[in-house]
């Protein structure tokens, strides 16, 4: 078992981060505006606070992209290279995050409708980002 190719891991992670950022921006601007407005109102969040968090969310997507490709690279020796392993590694991380957000839903941060919608859209995003990032990773 060889070492991970760190240069390719970082390149793939950046690609996955770009894909994640683009898809999350589109989702936020077009598909979840009603749910996010409801959450903003229910939690008493100001638009200034939300706007000032954008840089953090951009960084989060790049970190997430690196984690997606790292997980793919770690699973490759056991499951083999290719899209199937990229999907398995992405869905593994997605399940972890979806579980945490289920807890946030239980305490009222998200409504059930928002959780279901966001979780599905994030699954699509994770699979796309994982496939894109894994494409650039080679041992």
Cα distances (Å, whole numbers) of residue 60 to 3, 40, 72, 100? 26, 20, 18, 16
| pTM for the predicted model, two decimal places | 0.94
What pLDDT does residue 68 have?
Answer: 98
Number of domains in the chain: 1
Q: Is residue 1 part of a domain?
A: no
Which stretches in the chain have pLDDT values below 50?
none
What pLDDT does residue 2 have?
Answer: 74
How far apart CA 100 and CA 118 sit, in angstroms, is: 13
Q: Is residue 92 part of a domain?
A: yes
Q: Is residue 100 part of a domain?
A: yes
Q: Is residue 75 part of a domain?
A: yes
Q: Domain limits at 21?
A: 6-135
What pLDDT does residue 1 have?
Answer: 59
| Helix 54-79 with 6-26: angle, nearest 10 deg | 130
């Amino acid at each position: 078992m060889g070492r991970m190719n760190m240069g390719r891991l970082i390149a793939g992670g950046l690609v996955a981060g770009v894909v994640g950022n683009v898809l999350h921006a589109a989702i936020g601007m077009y598909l979840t505006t009603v749910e996010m407005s409801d959450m903003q109102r229910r939690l008493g969040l100001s638009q200034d606070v939300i706007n000032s968090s954008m840089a953090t969310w951009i960084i989060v997507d790049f970190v997430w992209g690196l984690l997606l490709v790292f997980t793919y690279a770690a699973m490759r020796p056991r499951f083999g290279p290719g899209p199937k392993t990229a999907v398995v590694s992405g869905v593994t991380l997605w399940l972890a995050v979806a579980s945490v957000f289920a807890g946030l839903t239980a305490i009222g941060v998200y409504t059930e409708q928002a959780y279901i919608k966001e979780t599905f859209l994030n699954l699509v995003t994770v699979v796309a980002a994982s496939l894109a990032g894994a494409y650039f990773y080679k041992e």
